[in-house]
């Protein structure tokens, strides 16, 4: 290495972030795998207020909670000292459903509700949408999503004013405007053509495929033609004999799907399509309506993902009116949010990383840049809304350090900002309709969760809930957050969890938990430091559990993120080994017993470390791993690797099939057999190569599971992983060199 050990690993101890966890004192209960996996999202997670949000147009918030073992919807005025008022229980909703002779089953849990105003909320049950009048305590059928097609309606979206419902069935779009039969908007019979659903495999900030105009006069929707995309086979073993199901899976360098955008006019009943033009394999994202419904804005991104155009269209004719602005980057551009219109104004805000950090830019609706509003070596992570008079924008950012999240208000004229949240840690807010009050969900390494109402200046108005420590009776170890220096000079943030009965005179096995890919940050100043409870379970069992966010991860600016471009897995390994060198400098780590576990990109990283740093890691578990990026999908894969044709050296360097022969330790690969995200061909090719080379390897498939193992099977999964490390790492001191 170019730098001395002392220079590279000079530990920057963050005085307020090296946390002696309150979980480490005078507790006696021991976690089980079931505690860590299922109860870690239930009774052992900090108490929350389910569905906590504002009722539109009010200072009243609502939430679902349990009282006397019953789920009840509550609401509470933020400005009054009165207690929360019960609105209706799940039992009462089911009673009224039965009275309406609803064809749908009773609801076992309180449904997700959407408030239309102070007196009405709606919810879906089965293929029907119901409206509940809180003033009259009365339930009514609002929309029927039933049609001659018996398939269950999906992807429903409601118009903001009229309450109409748009939804999909059998890949076609329907609209329900009442209890009468829905209107069918599209009539595609080829299953490879999909309407009204998310496209481009949910990249570029895309989460849905239906976009109501502000007043409910129009519905814009995606139409995705996948007829040119190669079929990929998935096998359902529950059938007798097994049944083949083909999905469309465009792999890097192969033919991509083609997307267009339709607009259905409610009044005329006619559909037009935007004239989005060529090339057809472009990406269309950030679909946004103008407040007056006259225009629709779409970000066009080329397949190379290095050139973006923001285009304004006429919503009536579909004609292109103007390209408002362009963004280019030598590596990639990734638009994630559409224009944010300022009320009663001809201006909008645009979030962009064009200067290397995610910031706000102020534009007029003709595409003229007025000014860059925010600037600095920090990132906006959330846009929260505007204040009462639309003079300030509220944002969540990393201005106070990458581990924290705080809320600021930014003046739209001057760009000056003011910090609104003070408590050190992570704040997540929801602004009410007027922009006068916000619900703040706060946590830190020492604070499970606190829910408060804050005013527009960040002053606490009311405390809603201060959750008790759900782990106060459990014997967990000390957790530390700190940073070390990368070879390249950047700070790398780390989390380390020590065993509960830690003794610095002993040596402990190390478990590295890794993800390391784009759009991730595992180490945060939040409850448990961002760790899941299984990691604490493993520390409790006698491991030092370590996590490091390497270069390529998020919220550190484009330079930090893009260092992995065209060679995924190389820089990331270098940083993870920087973490290992730090760990080896500690007198209480066993250098011969270091293991690694990760899933998805983390599975790729775990396998990379086991094969490309095989003298370091003794045991690894990789779940749903990418093995060769040429077998991954176009949108994500080509953004970070380009195509296999344009970057053959990068694909060769990152392909783990080229390193199978290096494997010395024990490696367990796990994969869901019908994984549509990272297809199991990846791990099977690794197994095939290992067999051909005579390399010992363990493999465990989870039949019927997709990219994650869910439900009761997740307990089996984590018992399997825990046992694998216990058998081969914790209870085995054999050196790596002796294993092959």
Instruction: State the pLDDT at residue 27.
Output: 67
Indicate if the pLDDT at residue 267 is higher than 90.
yes
Which among 388, 394, 439 has a CA at the least distance from the CA of 76? 439
Q: What are 458-476's pLDDT values in tens digits?
A: 999 999 999 999 999 999 9
Indicate if the pLDDT at residue 197 is higher than 80.
yes
Instruction: State the pLDDT at residue 38.
Output: 86
Instruction: State the pLDDT at residue 39.
Output: 73
528 band by pLDDT with thresholds 50, 70 and 90? very high
Tell me which of 237-241, 263-267, 378-382, 566-570 is least confident: 237-241
Q: What mean pLDDT is predicted for residues 472-496?
A: 96
The number of angstroms, rounded, from the C-alpha of 336 to the middle of its chain's C-alpha atoms is: 13
Ordered DSSP codes for 297-346:
EEEEE-TTSSEEEEEEEETTT--EEEEEEEEE-SS-----S--EEPTTSS
Tell me which of 446-455, 718-727, 728-737 is least confident: 728-737
Q: What are 354-404's pLDDT values in tens digits?
A: 999 999 999 999 999 999 999 999 999 999 999 999 999 999 999 999 999
40 band by pLDDT with thresholds 50, 70 and 90? low
Any idea where the domains of the chain sit in the sequence? 5-43+470-738, 48-144, 179-336, 339-468
The catalytic residue among 526, 675, 714, 722 is: 675
Instruction: State the pLDDT at residue 181.
Output: 84
Q: Does domain 339-468 have CATH number 2.120.10.30?
A: yes
Q: To which residue do tokens 């960040």 refer? A: 458
600 band by pLDDT with thresholds 50, 70 and 90? very high
Instruction: State the pLDDT at residue 219.
Output: 98
Q: What is the mean pLDDT of the chain?
A: 93
Indicate if the pLDDT at residue 318 is higher than 60.
yes
The catalytic residue among 400, 707, 713, 716 is: 707
Task: For residue 707, indicate whether it is catalytic.
Answer: yes
Q: What are 557-592's pLDDT values in tens digits?
A: 999 999 999 999 999 999 999 999 999 999 999 999
Indicate if the pLDDT at residue 7 is higher than 60.
no
* Fold classified for 5-43+470-738: Rossmann fold (3.40.50)
Which among 104, 140, 99, 102 has a CA at the least distance from the CA of 119? 140
Q: What are 54-107's pLDDT values in tens digits?
A: 999 999 999 999 877 789 999 999 999 888 999 999 999 999 999 998 777 889
List, in order, residues 6 or more apart from 203 with CB less than 8 Å away. Answer: 283, 635, 636, 639
Q: What are phi and psi of 101, to 5 degrees?
A: 55, 45
Q: What are 533-556's pLDDT values in tens digits?
A: 999 999 999 999 999 999 999 999
Residue 133 pairs in a beta bridge with 120, 138
User: Contact, 86 vs 67, CB < 8 A?
Assistant: yes
Q: To which residue do tokens 């990219």 refer? A: 707
The number of angstroms, rounded, from the C-alpha of 479 to the middle of its chain's C-alpha atoms is: 24
12 band by pLDDT with thresholds 50, 70 and 90? very low
Instruction: State the pLDDT at residue 67.
Output: 79
Structure tokens at 440: 């703040």
User: Contact, 480 vs 5, CB < 8 A?
Assistant: no
Instruction: State the pLDDT at residue 733.
Output: 58
CATH class of 179-336: mainly beta
Q: What are phi and psi of 41, to 5 degrees?
A: -110, 5
Which among 80, 47, 42, 46 has a CA at the least distance from the CA of 61? 80
Q: What mean pLDDT is predicted for residues 423-449?
A: 97
Q: What mean pLDDT is predicted for residues 259-268?
A: 97
Structure tokens at 326: 């362009």
Contacts 24+ apart (CB under 8 A), 568-572: 568/517, 568/604, 568/629, 568/640, 568/641, 568/650, 568/654, 569/604, 569/605, 569/608, 569/612, 569/653, 569/654, 569/656, 570/653, 570/654, 572/516, 572/517, 572/605, 572/608
CA distances from residue 212 to 183, 199, 396, 480, 735 in whole angstroms, order as listed? 15, 17, 27, 47, 62
455: which DSSP letter? Answer: E
Which among 276, 268, 273, 171 has a CA at the least distance from the CA of 227? 171
Instruction: State the pLDDT at residue 15.
Output: 33
319 band by pLDDT with thresholds 50, 70 and 90? very high
Q: To which residue do tokens 């465990």 refer? A: 700
20 band by pLDDT with thresholds 50, 70 and 90? very low
Query: Which helix (H) or strand (E) segment is 542 a member of?
Result: none
Task: For residue 236, indicate whether it is catalytic.
Answer: no
**Higher-confidence residue: 121 or 731?**
121
Indicate if the pLDDT at residue 42 is higher than 80.
no
Q: Which three-class secondary structure state does DSSP give residue 693?
A: helix
The catalytic residue among 144, 256, 352, 600 is: 600
Indicate if the pLDDT at residue 630 is higher than 80.
yes
């Amino acid at each position: 290495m170019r730098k001395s050990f002392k220079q590279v690993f000079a530990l920057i101890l963050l005085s307020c972030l090296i946390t002696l966890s309150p979980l480490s004192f005078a507790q006696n209960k021991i976690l089980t795998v079931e505690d860590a996996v299922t109860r870690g999202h239930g009774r052992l997670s900090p108490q929350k207020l389910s569905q906590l949000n504002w009722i539109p147009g009010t200072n009243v918030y609502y939430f679902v909670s349990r009282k006397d073992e019953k789920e009840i919807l509550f609401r509470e005025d933020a400005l009054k000292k009165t207690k929360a008022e019960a609105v209706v229980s799940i039992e009462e909703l089911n009673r009224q459903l039965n009275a309406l002779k609803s064809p749908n089953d009773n609801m076992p849990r309180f449904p997700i509700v959407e408030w239309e105003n102070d007196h009405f909320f709606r919810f879906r049950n089965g293929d029907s949408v119901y409206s509940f009048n809180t003033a009259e305590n009365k339930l009514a059928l609002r929309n029927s999503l039933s049609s001659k097609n018996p398939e269950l309606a999906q992807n429903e979206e409601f118009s903001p004013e009229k309450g109409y419902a748009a939804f999909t069935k059998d890949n076609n779009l329907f609209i329900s405007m009442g209890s009468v039969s829905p209107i069918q908007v599209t009539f595609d019979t080829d299953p490879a053509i999909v309407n009204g659903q998310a496209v481009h495999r949910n990249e570029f900030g895309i989460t849905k495929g239906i976009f109501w105009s502000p007043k409910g006069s129009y519905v814009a929707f995606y139409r995705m033609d996948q007829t040119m995309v190669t079929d990929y086979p998935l096998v359902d073993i529950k059938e007798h004999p097994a049944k083949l199901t083909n999905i469309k899976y465009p792999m890097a360098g192969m033919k991509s799907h083609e997307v267009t955008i339709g607009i259905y006019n409610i009044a005329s009943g006619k559909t037009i399509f935007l004239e989005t033009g060529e090339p057809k394999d472009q990406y269309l994202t950030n679909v946004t309506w103008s407040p007056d419904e006259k225009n629709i804005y779409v970000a066009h991104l080329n397949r190379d993902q290095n050139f973006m155009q923001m285009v304004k269209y006429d919503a009536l004719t579909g004609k292109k009116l103007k390209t408002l602005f362009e963004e280019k980057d030598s590596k990639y551009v990734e638009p994630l949010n559409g224009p944010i219109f300022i009320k009663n104004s001809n201006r909008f805000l645009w979030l962009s990383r064009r200067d290397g950090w995610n910031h706000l830019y102020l534009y007029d609706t003709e595409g003229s840049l007025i000014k860059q509003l925010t600037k600095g070596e920090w990132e906006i992570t959330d846009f929260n809304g505007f204040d009462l008079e639309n003079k300030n924008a509220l944002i969540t950012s990393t201005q106070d350090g990458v581990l924290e999240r705080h809320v600021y208000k930014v003046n739209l004229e001057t760009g000056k900002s003011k910090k609104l949240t003070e408590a050190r840690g992570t704040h997540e807010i929801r602004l009410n309709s007027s922009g006068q009050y916000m619900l703040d969900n706060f946590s830190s390494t020492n604070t499970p969760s606190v829910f408060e109402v804050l005013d527009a200046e960040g002053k606490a108005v009311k405390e809603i809930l201060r959750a008790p420590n759900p782990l106060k009776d459990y014997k967990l170890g000390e957790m530390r957050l700190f940073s070390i220096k990368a070879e390249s000079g950047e700070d790398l943030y780390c989390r380390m969890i020590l065993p509960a009965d830690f003794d610095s005179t002993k040596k402990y096995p190390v478990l590295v938990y890794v993800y390391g890919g784009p759009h991730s940050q595992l180490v945060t100043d939040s409850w448990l430091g961002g760790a899941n409870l299984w990691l604490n379970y493993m520390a409790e069992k006698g491991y030092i559990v370590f996590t490091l966010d390497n270069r390529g991860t998020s919220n550190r600016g484009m330079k930090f993120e893009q260092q992995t471009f065209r060679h995924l897995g190389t820089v990331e390994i270098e940083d993870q080994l920087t973490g290992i060198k730090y760990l080896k400098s500690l007198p209480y780590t066993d250098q011969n017993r270091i293991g690694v576990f990760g899933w998805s990109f983390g599975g790729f990283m775990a396998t990379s470390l086991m094969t490309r740093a095989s003298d370091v890691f003794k045991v690894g578990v990789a779940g749903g791993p990418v093995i060769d990026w040429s077998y991954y999908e176009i949108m994500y894969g080509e953004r970070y690797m380009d195509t296999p044709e344009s970057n053959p050296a990068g694909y060769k360097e990152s392909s783990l099939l080229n390193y199978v022969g290096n494997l010395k330790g024990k490696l367990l690969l796990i994969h869901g057999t019908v994984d549509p995200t990272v297809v199991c061909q990846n791990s099977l090719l690794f197994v095939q190569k290992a067999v051909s080379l005579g390399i010992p390897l363990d493999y465990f498939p989870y039949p019927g599971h997709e990219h994650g193992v869910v439900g009761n099977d997740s307990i089996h999964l984590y018992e399997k992983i825990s046992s694998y490390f216990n058998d081969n790492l914790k209870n085995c001191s054999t050196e790596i060199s002796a294993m092959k």
